[in-house]
Amino acid sequence: MLERPATPALRAARTGLCAVTRLAFGCAVTCVVAGAAWAGSGVALDAAKALVCSAEGPQSIDGARLLLEDGEIIAIGSASEVEIPAGFEHVDLGKRWIMPGMIDLHSHISGAFDINDTVFQVNPGLRVSATLRPGNRDHEVALASGVTTVLYIPGSGSNVGGVGVLHQTTSGTYEEVLVRDPGSLKVAQGDNPARWGYGMGRLMMNHHIRSSMRQGKAYAQRWAAFESGAGEAPDRNLSLDIYRQLESGETQISTHTQYYQVVLASLRLLRAETGFDMYIDHGTFDSWKLGPLAKELGVAAVLGPRSVLWPRPPRFDSDGRAEGAAWGFQQTGVDRIGFNTDAPVVPQHELTVQAAMGVRYGLDDAEMAAVRGLTIVPAMVAGIDDRLGSLEVGKQADVLVVTGHPADPRTSVERVYVRGELVYDAEQEVRRW
């Protein structure tokens, strides 16, 4: 792993230091070093295929070339069309492919599992950013598996667990790994939060959630009115501040919601009644049958870790078929389908298996739904697609070098660039993943 400079002063010299560190690794990463003036300059990656994953347009380029400089993608196209500027390091990746760094919108690996402070049943004021510890072992493996960005969120021990944080899996200070805080407001329905205490059932839980949503909405609207010049400044309420960002669309609600009845409640409580931006998180078992409503309300589905409804009567209306959640949502017209691990429920580094299982159990991958569900879809869902999720000019250079289709367990991740820096190289040591 490349060390990141520890202080802001040193950070200013990052590019130069990074180059030195690269030299210290004996240039093992470079196949061709074009000239001596490469230090501090950009990198040109030539790959057999680039999985572009743009929101719209062509999804892949054969014989691709990608230029990255100062942490950004500055060009991508066919190798015959993109010229390598003078001073760029030229890396010929041969048969390997390149793709965007992967994003997991449901992860718990970034702290010490101190993410279930459930003194109250509803805790919109809590923030997991207080417990984030970048650079742990799980992050190291996540990075080696190509997961470069995660949404670290509270557990589902209470109905509103608190505010998550979107961050990168690289090492560094909080500021250095931060993508966005607040990453989301975590809401949990069904099952887990019912364990909060005696007598807690769905009626009470829905009541609590609805109360908090209504309170928060009203609070946010008072602030919005004040900011547009109407009325007095409301009293600051730290428990409700997150709703201001939800109201303004700066963040989303990520909802632990898993089967039909519960997802139906999610769509009503968190979306139809409030107008907040929310997405179905988990969305397993028979919940895909709500696909048409989700589509109508513009709600995305980020699926996992349970990806298949297995014949398990009598709880679910199942005729014995194995039904993939991704297949179901796709069938019913939901166009944004992502994958998650709920790490460590499924290990963070097995995110790609979630996509593989989606395809195995019926997801049509003809339009690259599997890869999109690991990259651009979660980026769009979390509202970070202006910076992450695809290999497009102007985006942050989070680039993976892979040996084939990323969903295939046989495919290995050979290199990982985050913000243009090579942060993982499989050739450096015996691989952990």
N-term to C-term CA, the chain: 14
Nearer to another protein by Cβ, of 183 and 328: the residue is 328
Residue number with CB closer to another protein (89 or 350): 350
Q: What is the DSSP string of 242-256?
A: HHHHHHTTSS-EEEE
Residue 359 found at the interface with another protein (CB under 8 A): yes
Are 286 and 258 spatial neighbours (Cβ–Cβ below 8 Å)?
A: no
Interaction between residue 245 and another protein (CB under 8 A): no
Our finding on whether 345 is near another protein (CB under 8 A) is yes
Residue found by looking up tokens 């990746």 in the block = 93
The DSSP secondary structure of 227-294, one letter per residue, reads HTT-SPPPPP-TTTTHHHHHHTTSS-EEEEE-SHHHHHHHIIIIIITT---EEEEE--GGGGGGHHHH
**Residue 280: what are its φ and ψ, rounded to 5°?**
-75, 125
48 binds another protein (CB under 8 A): no
User: In the Cβ-directed half-sphere of 364, how many Cα atoms lie within 13 Å?
Assistant: 10
Q: Is residue 420 within 8 Å of residue 99, measured between CB atoms?
A: no
* CB 95, min distance to another protein, A: 16
* 235-241-244-245 Cα dihedral, nearest 10 degrees: 160
Contact status: 309 vs another protein (CB under 8 A): yes
Based on the shown chain and the rule CB under 8 A, indicate whether residue 141 belongs to the binding site for another protein: yes
Per-residue interface string for the shown chain with another protein, residues 78-97, x marking contact by CB under 8 A: --------------------
Please choose, out of 84-92, 192-200, 219-227, 403-411, the segment that lies near another protein by the rule CB under 8 A.
Answer: 403-411
412 sits near another protein (criterion: CB under 8 A): yes
Residue 361 found at the interface with another protein (CB under 8 A): yes
Rounded CA gap, 54 and 51, in Å? 9
Q: Report the residue from 22, 49, 360, 372 that binds another protein according to the rule CB under 8 A.
A: 360
The answer to the question of residue 329 lying near another protein (CB under 8 A) is no
Q: How far is the CB of 58 from another protein (least distance, A)?
A: 23
CA 372 to chain centroid: 12
Binding status of residue 319 toward another protein by CB under 8 A: yes
Binding site for another protein (CB under 8 A): 137, 141, 284-285, 305-312, 319-322, 324, 327, 345-347, 349-350, 353-354, 356-357, 359-362, 365, 407-412, 430-433
